[in-house]
């Protein structure tokens, strides 16, 4: 194809017929023009598409598919009516088995290219079931006022706009109906949504949490400072129609920051928590509690972590970044003793309560920074097994070095970010470990996100 740009590269605004070869790590299609890479939004491998170039740089270009001329055999019809508008579930057009294949390849690529590792075993990717209605937590934003009040998601890159959602296929039909009631009640209040630019208004966010195995629901409404009346009206409306709502809490965000979590809250109805059960462990869930968002796949993730760990009944084990103790409590069934370390004090208190409620006596939980607590372990408290599940940024270099210096026999790394895990894996190998096995776990079907479980052995 002859290009109009003088340097044989496409220019911004050009319309090109391209065949998409593969997927990049960000989820976009990859096409080439005379060896020059074009990242394509809205296309899957095998598609032949008319692509409008939106950005052109010296080494690559970006574009969007304006028309699919010849669809790939791996392309599927999107199921959600909001597809292409809300910005979520971008891989709905890609066959699910292909989604799994690319997620597994993403994990392997990160370990090889970022971690510089080779010779490890790759287990078959653990797919999700179900593929829809799997989220136990979802966050929505308000916009507008009155009859035009919207409650939905921000489209990509446009944080001042909200796509009003009628039915999100990621969470249950029950919580979808509940969201519609909240929108109806907020519109009837006569109060507008908070405007980020003008920094005025009332309604800000709605966070719904559901115990998918217990049926309990939490409603967390986030507003700017204001009167209590609309919240009392909402509480009455919910109580009349949704008896499964066990917790309605009101959080006030008096800052310009568009955040919905980690805020003080007030209980408007019911209690300040709900319960969920995973693998026979009953867990107390507060508004700020971290819990894996896909309950069914979380159970599979934990089973894989235990399979990799192969714990012994006389072992002392550590659970780092323990949250409310789900992994530690499962490990306790197989170990002599488990110590959980977690920075958030509320999570530590909940973990201790969860242990007591489940009759598990061989666990303890400490609030503090992982690096500091690891450095204070007495010589007799050297672990044989460590499981860590850090946030997306991964563990810090000093934390990994301190962990390796404890020389546990086995380390199981649960990750939600393959790139940061791969960097940590390189540090573990430098500290005397070898990567034995890894597996991709699909916690979020139809998105580019991938979880993983990896096993490191000493020596």
In a domain, 284, yes or no: no
In a domain, 107, yes or no: yes
By CB atoms closer than 10 A (0-12, 13-18, 19+), residue 429 is middle
Do 348 and 367 touch, CB atoms closer than 8 A?
A: yes
Name the strand (E) or helix (H) holding 445.
none
- Bridge partner residues of 275 (DSSP): 284
By CB atoms closer than 10 A (0-12, 13-18, 19+), residue 379 is exposed
Active site residue 416: yes
What is the mean pLDDT of the segment spanning 292-320? Answer: 97
Q: Are residues 309 and 242 part of one domain?
A: no
Q: Quick one: pLDDT band at residue 424, thresholds 50, 70, 90?
A: very high
In a domain, 443, yes or no: yes
Q: Which of 253, 278, 303 is the last residue of a domain?
A: 278
Q: Parallel, antiparallel, or unpaired: how do β-strands 121-122 and 29-33 relate?
A: unpaired
What is the mean pLDDT of the segment spanning 295-305? Answer: 97
Number of domains, the chain = 3
Do 456 and 425 touch, CB atoms closer than 8 A?
A: yes
Q: How far apart are CA 383 and CA 312, in angstroms?
A: 12
Which of 74-88, 182-196, 334-348, 352-366 has the weakest average pLDDT? 74-88
Q: Are residues 171 and 197 part of one domain?
A: yes
Residue identified by tokens 């607590």 is 373
Q: Are residues 166 and 310 part of one domain?
A: no
In a domain, 419, yes or no: yes
Of residues 51 and 161, which shows the higher confidence score? 51
Q: How far apart are CA 139 and CA 247, in angstroms?
A: 16
Q: Are residues 450 and 304 part of one domain?
A: yes
pTM of the model: 0.91
Q: Are residues 301 and 439 part of one domain?
A: yes
- Bridge partner residues of 296 (DSSP): none
**Residue 270 pLDDT more than 90?**
yes
Q: Are residues 220 and 105 part of one domain?
A: no
Closest CA to 439 of 318, 302, 277: 302
Residue identified by tokens 């509320």 is 346
Neighbours of 298 (CB within 10 A): 21
Q: How far apart are CA 273 and CA 276, in angstroms?
A: 10
Instruction: Kindly state the DSSP code that residue 112 receives in the 8-state scheme.
Output: I
- Bridge partner residues of 372 (DSSP): none
Instruction: Kindly state the DSSP code that residue 191 receives in the 8-state scheme.
Output: P
Q: Parallel, antiparallel, or unpaired: how do β-strands 316-320 and 385-388 relate?
A: parallel
Q: What digits encode the pLDDT tens for the residues 55-71?
A: 999 889 999 999 999 99
User: Can you give the pLDDT at residue 2?
Assistant: 42
Q: How far apart are CA 370 and CA 352, in angstroms?
A: 18
Q: Are residues 322 and 228 part of one domain?
A: no
**Residue 220 pLDDT more than 60?**
yes
Q: What digits encode the pLDDT tens for the residues 33-54?
A: 888 999 999 999 999 999 999 9
Cβ partners under 8 Å of residue 378, min gap 6: none
Q: How far apart are CA 14 and CA 36, in angstroms?
A: 15
In a domain, 92, yes or no: no
The two three-digit tokens of residue 200, written as one number: 């005025």
In a domain, 141, yes or no: yes
CA geometry: angle at 222 spanning 220 and 225, to 5°? 140
Q: Which of 32, 51, 70 is the last residue of a domain?
A: 70
Q: Are residues 324 and 206 part of one domain?
A: no
At residue 70, φ and ψ (nearest 5 deg) are -140, 100
Q: Quick one: pLDDT band at residue 7, thresholds 50, 70, 90?
A: low
Q: Of the residues 89, 168, 335, 416, which is catalytic? A: 416
In a domain, 7, yes or no: no
At residue 124, φ and ψ (nearest 5 deg) are -55, 140
Q: Which of 224, 250, 278 is the last residue of a domain?
A: 278
Q: Considering the chain, what is the average pLDDT of its residues?
A: 94
The two three-digit tokens of residue 203, written as one number: 């309604």
Instruction: Compute the radius of gyration of the chain from its Cα atoms.
Output: 24
Residue 241: CATH number of its domain? 2.40.50.1070
Q: How far apart are CA 458 and CA 85, in angstroms?
A: 48
Q: How far apart are CA 68 and CA 19, in angstroms?
A: 10
Residue 23: CATH number of its domain? 2.40.50.140
In a domain, 363, yes or no: yes
Residue 319: CATH number of its domain? 3.40.50.150
What is the mean pLDDT of the segment spanning 231-259? Answer: 96
The SS3 of residue 370 is helix
Q: Are residues 233 and 141 part of one domain?
A: yes
User: Can you give the pLDDT at residue 4?
Assistant: 46
Q: Are residues 270 and 160 part of one domain?
A: yes
Alpha-carbon 10 to chain mean position: 36
Q: Are residues 447 and 307 part of one domain?
A: yes
Q: Are residues 150 and 256 part of one domain?
A: yes
Q: Quick one: pLDDT band at residue 3, thresholds 50, 70, 90?
A: very low
Beta strand residue intervals within 102-244, DSSP E:
121-122, 137-143, 150-153, 163-164, 203-210, 217-223
**Residue 409 pLDDT more than 80?**
yes
Domain that holds residue 243: 137-278
**Residue 159 pLDDT more than 90?**
no
């Amino acid at each position: 194809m002859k290009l109009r740009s003088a340097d044989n590269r496409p220019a911004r605004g050009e319309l090109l017929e391209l065949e998409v070869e593969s997927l990049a790590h960000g989820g976009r299609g990859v096409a080439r023009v005379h060896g020059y890479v074009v990242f394509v939004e809205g296309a899957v491998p095998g598609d032949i598409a008319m692509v409008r170039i939106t950005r052109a740089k010296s080494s690559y270009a970006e574009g969007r598919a304006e028309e699919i001329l010849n669809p790939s055999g791996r392309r599927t019809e999107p199921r959600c009516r909001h597809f292409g508008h809300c910005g979520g579930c971008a891989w709905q057009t890609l066959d699910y088995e292909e989604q799994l294949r690319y997620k597994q390849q993403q994990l392997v690529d990160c370990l090889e290219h970022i971690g510089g590792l080779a010779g490890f075993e790759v287990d078959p990717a653990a797919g999700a079931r179900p593929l829809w209605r799997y989220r136990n937590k979802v966050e929505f934003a308000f916009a507008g006022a009155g009859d035009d009040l919207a409650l939905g998601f921000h489209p990509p890159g446009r944080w001042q706009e909200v796509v009003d959602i009628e039915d999100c296929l990621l969470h249950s039909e029950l919580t979808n109906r509940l969201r519609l009631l909240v929108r109806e009640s907020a519109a009837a209040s006569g109060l507008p949504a908070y405007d980020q630019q003008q920094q005025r208004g009332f309604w800000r966010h709605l966070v719904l949490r559901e115990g998918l195995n217990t049926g309990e629901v939490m409603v967390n409404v986030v507003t700017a400072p204001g009167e209590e009346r609309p919240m009392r009206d909402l509480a009455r409306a919910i109580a009349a129609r949704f008896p499964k709502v066990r917790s309605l809490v009101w959080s006030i965000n008096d800052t310009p920051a568009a955040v919905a979590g980690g805020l003080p809250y007030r209980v408007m109805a019911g209690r300040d928590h709900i319960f969920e059960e995973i693998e026979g462990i009953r867990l107390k869930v507060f508004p700020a509690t971290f819990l894996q968002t896909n309950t069914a796949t979380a159970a599979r993730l934990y089973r894989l972590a235990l399979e990799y760990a192969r714990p012994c009944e006389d072992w002392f084990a550590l659970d780092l970044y323990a949250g409310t103790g789900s992994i530690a409590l499962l490990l306790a069934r197989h170990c002599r003793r488990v110590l959980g370390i977690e920075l958030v004090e509320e999570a530590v208190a909940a973990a201790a309560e969860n242990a007591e409620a489940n009759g598990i006596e061989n666990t303890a939980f400490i609030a503090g920074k992982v690096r500091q607590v690891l450095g204070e372990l007495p010589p007799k408290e050297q672990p044989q097994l460590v499981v860590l599940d850090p946030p997306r940024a991964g563990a810090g270099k000093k934390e990994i070095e301190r962990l390796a210096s404890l020389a546990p026999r086995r380390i199981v790394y649960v990750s939600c970010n393959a790139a940061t895990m791969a960097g940590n894996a390189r540090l573990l190998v430098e500290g005397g470990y070898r990567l034995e096995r890894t597996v991709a776990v699909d916690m979020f079907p139809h998105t580019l996100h991938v979880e993983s479980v990896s096993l490191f052995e000493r020596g």
